[in-house]
Amino acid sequence: MRFNSIKLACALALALPLTGCFDSQPESSDAAVKSEIRVAMMQPPRMGLSPLSDDAFKLSRWSTAETLVNLSPTSEAEPMLATDWKHLDPLTWQFTIRQGVKFHDGSTLTAESVVNSLQKALEAAPKPRILDGVDLEVKAMDNYRVEIKTSFDDPLLPSRLSSPQLAILAASAYQEDGRVSPMGAGTGPFELTEINGTTSAKLKRFDGYWGQKAQVESVIAEYVPNGFARAAALRTGTADIVEAVPVSQIATIDPNLLYEVAMPRTNTLYLNNKSGVFSDINLRKVAAAAVDREQIVNTVYENHADIAQGLLGPALAWAEQIRPEGQAIDKTLKANGESIVIGTFTDRAELAEVAALLKQQLEAAGFNVELDIREYAQIENDALSGKFDAFILSRATVLDSGDPVAYMMSDFGCKGSFNLGQFCSQDVDKALTHADLQPLGTLRQQAIIEAEQKILNDFAAIPLLHERVIQGESERVSNVVRDPSERRLVDQTTQIKQAKQAN
């Protein structure tokens, strides 16, 4: 959705200085033939762009690394590096590997390449979260057929294999010390040619790509965690594509450059269920009663978000249709001066404002609240180790497989790899395991909602709102991908409008 109705606030239209961001302006005149696109990314890589971490989604958004299976806009599994697959028996799948595919280092994609990449993911510590609770045996049947055995009848396996964390890379990517370097090792239309730490990355068109060739020659991705700086990069034209423009900056930007993308993403207040104040369910109930979601959506997001009724938002239309009415909470519940620390991060500009409002709301309910707000890269380890009483996170709920079970297992399973709330309930684990065994469709959806209700009834976390991310695109680019699943941003169809032709 384009922001045609937004009025420009001229008084605020002065660009912020972009120290260290896009130090050189896009070239003009004959140099424009190079058709270079500049992207302002919201977060720097956390693990050196390892595909076995969340950095994998950058590799996917840049179209440099690819998976066996693609996920369609309607979350259907589609061929990518695998051309087809068969469910031979309840525990056995067979995938046919696409022939004629070259890695960026010149080596050829084979079944052994696939087995090697998947085996590295299975052996990783921690494993990619899409593999939480999943055991696989992978072997090559011949040069272009791979057999995968599962430990249970898993109807979601093809969708799991679409996770960017299960990208198939050349053998050269996997180093003896256990590190994985994606540079020159992918199969996508763009080759990653330069990694500059947490500053930037560069990609160039890969002319040996097996599919449609890229329309631009190069992509420069700069990491700009400051939301105001990202907005300024769009205003001044120093960036062609900008991730997550802060709502507070909308009025300062030409509305023709802004697009709203409804996301399967939930802003959630995760409560530490294991230690401290919120290990007491009664105090978790006090916090839940104190939260005013409507005030947050109206004030911080200027109504560019949806009030959360559960963990799963309107991007999953079926969830609202079958979700029962939530548990009633006594709004008169009060705390007795208990001190809590709430953590969040600056990369999403709105979260600091959400934290400030939550501080007011919780203090009005009798808590003493301290905030700890840093860049995500500086706070993630503390959050995962349970050092906060509560943590505010913007969380994609179907990022890995197009299905929310993987997210729920990761965040609320006893052995979940992203369990910010240190939450563990055998009842919830059983419900999630049951949901994961259901076939795709209404039975699975009902089981997912039942698991969601168990989580919410334990007040393990407080869902606040469902985001609509605002993406910025300069007038010089077209065919930028507006992907609710956040897997694609620049692909082979992205181009510069009316690029000058070489003489």
Vertex 477: Cα angle to 42 and 13 (nearest 5): 60
Together in a domain, 275 and 392: yes
Question: 308 and 444 share a domain?
Answer: yes
Question: What tokens were used for 306?
Answer: 């949806």
Higher pLDDT, 320 or 423: 423
* pLDDT (tens digit per residue) in 414-465: 999 899 999 999 999 999 999 998 988 899 999 999 999 999 999 999 999 9
- Per residue in 102-121, pLDDT tens? 999 999 999 999 999 999 99
Q: Tokens representing 144?
A: 């272009």
Percent of the chain with pLDDT over 90: 78
Please indicate, yes or no, whether residues 288 and 149 belong to a single structural domain of this protein: no
Q: Are 249 and 436 in contact (CB under 8 A)?
A: no
Q: Output the domain CATH number for residue 411.
A: 3.10.105.10
Do 304 and 432 lie in one domain? The reply is yes
Domain boundary at 152, 180, 208, which?
A: 180
Convert the pLDDT of each residue in 130-162 to its tens digit.
Answer: 888 789 999 999 999 999 999 999 888 999 999
Are residue 277 and residue 159 in the same domain, yes or no? no
Residues 322 and 461 in one domain: yes
pLDDT above 50 (res 194): yes
Q: Does residue 458 share a domain with residue 312?
A: yes
The answer to whether position 415 is within a domain reads yes
Residues 447 and 311 in one domain: yes
Q: Is residue 11 included in any domain, yes or no?
A: no
Instruction: Give the pTM.
Output: 0.79
User: Domain limits at 389?
Assistant: 262-467
Q: Which of 145, 180, 215 is the last residue of a domain?
A: 180
Q: Which of 180, 214, 230 is the last residue of a domain?
A: 180
Residue 431: other Cβ atoms inside 10 A: 21
C-alpha distance across the termini of the chain, in Å: 38
Is there a domain that residue 248 lies in? no
Q: Say yes or no: 271 and 394 in one domain.
A: yes
Distance CA 350, CA 398 (A): 21
Rounded-to-integer distance, Cα 92 and Cα 145, Å: 13
Q: Are residues 278 and 147 in the same domain?
A: no
Looking at the fold, whether 320 and 433 belong to one and the same domain comes out as yes
Please, which pLDDT band fits residue 232 given cuts at 50, 70 and 90?
very high
Tell me 503's DSSP state: -
291 and 392 both lie in a single domain: yes
- Rounded CA-CA distance 378/369 in Å is 21
Task: Give the CATH number for residue 78.
Answer: 3.90.76.10
Helix axis angle, 426-437 to 404-412, nearest 10°: 160
Given a cut of 60, is residue 27 above it in pLDDT? Answer: no
Tell me the pLDDT band of 7, cut-offs 50, 70 and 90.
very low
